[in-house]
């Protein structure tokens, strides 16, 4: 009997694509183009993309930056690929800025914000002496559902004499993000660094205690703590020593921009917001409205985020093929977008990566 041809067709991965606003649609389109090219060259790989209308534009069209139908569809997908959301001039009627990306993390309980920081070429760093012999290659794990962001929706009396935000750390929240960080470190160079402020804040003493408890489950991983102010210095003075860094929400927010700065800027920093069931993959940068629509946005962070998504879906080989193609492309200093001193446009930069793929 002849084999049933449909049995040989792999089941497609269903990807929810949320292009969003500003440069989001431009870079998301390039990532989808690259994934389609990858699938075209590999018969075991199939993707089905579903585009969802979210962000500031969606608010202007439907009155909601994260319409319920889009969230339901996103929840059904195998993974979510997000460009960037929000525009400075589009606000709620009471003047508050919209924060759909934070809402998305809370809705899907995406507690671990993974931000890999890797220097591909010495010339891309403002720091001297880093590159092949002294690589910069670490992952920042940002707790993304509580910490100092947890109070953002609390009502404040703006006419009163005082305003406060609470830095909330729960046992559950700290345990799961620390465990995720130690698991990552175990698969890498086996070093996990907690960034805290345990010399001043009781919530951070608690976080450190839980980090130590979870660390006991990983005797093969070296652990240490660094105060957040010291880490701001160390990230500039000795970024090559770090492997996995875990920290609370706000510290992670600030340090991830600093970390992106030492490897070439926001256009080079991918990210994945991951929970136990769902994963959203997006560049660390925002919507960059100043350069939107000009075909000059750097697509590398978005493309590396797509590679992270594949890895999370269990497609380690195609993920590493994308990363290797990015690495080979960036080995040639002429292949850069204007944010990194180059002349290539968004599409040409993706084409250069595609040629290596
Ligand atoms: P958010 O508040 O959403 O993080 P932001 O306005 O603070 O956004 P970004 O949108 O990330 O910050 O970007 C800041 C600036 O960095 C942009 O205005 C843009 O000039 C530059 N930038 C960010 N991402 C890219 C990119 N992919 N390519 C080129 N330049 C970029």
Instruction: Kindly state whether residues 128 and 245 are assigned to the same domain.
Output: yes
Give the pocket of ligand 1 (CB within 6 Å): 23, 86, 266-267, 285-288, 290-291, 297-298, 301, 339
Q: Give the residue carrying structure tokens 């309980």.
A: 109
Going by pLDDT thresholds of 50, 70 and 90, the confidence category of residue 3 is low
17, 263, 350 from 297: Cα distances, Å: 18, 17, 11
Within a domain: residue 333?
A: yes
Give the end of a domain, one of 234, 253, 269: 269
DSSP 157: -
Instruction: Kindly state whether residues 175 and 294 are assigned to the same domain.
Output: no
Nearest of 329, 303, 237 to residue 36 by alpha carbon: 303
Q: Residue 189 maps to which CATH number?
A: 3.40.718.10
Strands annotated E in 185-236: 191-196, 222-227
Q: 71 alpha carbon to ligand 1 midpoint, in Å? A: 25
DSSP 122: G
Q: Look up the pTM and report it.
A: 0.94
Q: Judge contact between 299 and 349, C-beta under 8 A.
A: yes
Instruction: Kindly state whether residues 67 and 133 are assigned to the same domain.
Output: no
Side by side, the strands of the sheet bearing 47-51 are 47-51, 13-20, 79-84, 279-283, 270-274, 112-118, 137-143, 244-247, 191-196, 222-227
Instruction: Kindly state whether residues 51 and 119 are assigned to the same domain.
Output: no
Give the end of a domain, one of 247, 269, 291: 269
Instruction: Kindly state whether residues 228 and 89 are assigned to the same domain.
Output: no
Q: What residues make up the domain containing 47?
A: 10-110+275-357
DSSP 98: P
Instruction: Kindly state whether residues 77 and 213 are assigned to the same domain.
Output: no
pLDDT score at 141: 98
Number of compact structural domains in the chain: 2
pLDDT score at 253: 95
pLDDT score at 132: 83
Within a domain: residue 232?
A: yes
Q: Judge contact between 243 and 138, C-beta under 8 A.
A: yes
Within a domain: residue 102?
A: yes
pLDDT score at 275: 96
Residue 134, token pair as written in the block: 């002294």
Give the end of a domain, one of 269, 295, 325: 269
Is 304 a residue whose pLDDT tops 80? yes
Q: Hey, CA dihedral for 232, 234, 237, 238, is it positive or negative? A: negative
Ligand 1, closest atom to CA 290?
Answer: 18
Instruction: Kindly state whether residues 252 and 281 are assigned to the same domain.
Output: no
281 forms beta bridges with 81, 272
Within a domain: residue 351?
A: yes
Instruction: Kindly state whether residues 118 and 264 are assigned to the same domain.
Output: yes
Is 7 a residue whose pLDDT tops 70? no
Going by pLDDT thresholds of 50, 70 and 90, the confidence category of residue 92 is confident
Going by pLDDT thresholds of 50, 70 and 90, the confidence category of residue 189 is very high
Please name the residue whose Cα sits nearest to atom 21 of ligand 1.
288
Q: Give the residue carrying structure tokens 């449909």.
A: 6
For a pocket test of ligand 1, which of 104, 124, 266 has the largest count of ligand atoms closer than 8 A to its C-beta?
Answer: 266
Within a domain: residue 158?
A: no
The set of residues, in sequence order, having a beta carbon less than 8 Å from that of 94 and lying 6+ positions away, is none
Instruction: Kindly state whether residues 136 and 209 are assigned to the same domain.
Output: yes
Instruction: Kindly state whether residues 101 and 214 are assigned to the same domain.
Output: no
pLDDT score at 224: 98
pLDDT score at 286: 94
Within a domain: residue 297?
A: yes
Rounded Cα gap, residues 118 and 308, in angstroms: 13
Instruction: Kindly state whether residues 246 and 307 are assigned to the same domain.
Output: no
Instruction: Kindly state whether residues 137 and 202 are assigned to the same domain.
Output: yes
């Amino acid at each position: 009997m002849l084999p049933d041809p449909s049995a040989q067709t792999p089941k497609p991965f269903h990807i929810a694509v949320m292009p969003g606003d500003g440069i989001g649609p431009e870079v998301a389109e390039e990532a989808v183009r690259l994934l389609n090219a990858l699938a075209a060259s590999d018969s075991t790989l199939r993707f089905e993309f579903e585009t969802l209308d979210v962000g500031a534009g969606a608010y202007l069209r439907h009155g909601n930056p994260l319409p319920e139908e889009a969230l339901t569809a996103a929840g059904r997908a195998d993974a979510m690929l997000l460009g960037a959301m929000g525009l400075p001039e589009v606000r709620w009627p009471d003047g508050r800025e919209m924060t759909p990306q934070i809402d998305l993390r809370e809705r899907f309980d995406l507690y671990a914000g993974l931000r890999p920081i890797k220097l591909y070429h010495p010339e891309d760093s403002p720091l001297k002496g880093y590159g092949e012999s002294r690589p910069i290659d670490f992952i920042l794990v940002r707790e993304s559902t509580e910490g100092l962001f947890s109070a953002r929706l609390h009502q404040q009396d703006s006419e009163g004499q005082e305003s406060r935000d609470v830095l909330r750390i729960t046992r559950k929240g700290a345990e799961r993000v620390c465990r995720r960080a130690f698991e990552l470190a175990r698969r890498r160079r086996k070093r996990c660094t907690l960034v805290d402020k345990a010399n001043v804040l009781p919530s951070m003493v608690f976080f450190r205690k839980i980090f130590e408890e979870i660390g006991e489950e990983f005797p093969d991983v070296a652990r240490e703590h660094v105060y957040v102010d010291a880490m701001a210095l160390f990230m500039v003075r000795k970024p090559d020593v770090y492997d996995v860094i875990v920290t609370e929400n706000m510290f992670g927010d600030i340090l991830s921009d600093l970390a992106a700065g030492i490897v070439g800027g926001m256009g080079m920093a991918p990210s994945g917001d991951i929970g136990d069931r769902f994963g959203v993959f997006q560049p660390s940068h925002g919507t960059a409205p100043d350069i939107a629509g000009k075909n000059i946005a750097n697509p590398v962070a978005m493309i590396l985020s797509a590679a992270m998504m594949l890895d999370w879906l269990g497609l380690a080989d195609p993920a590493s093929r994308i990363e290797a193609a990015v690495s080979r492309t960036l080995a040639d200093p002429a292949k850069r977008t204007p944010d990194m001193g180059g002349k290539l446009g968004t599409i040409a930069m993706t084409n250069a990566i595609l040629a290596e793929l």
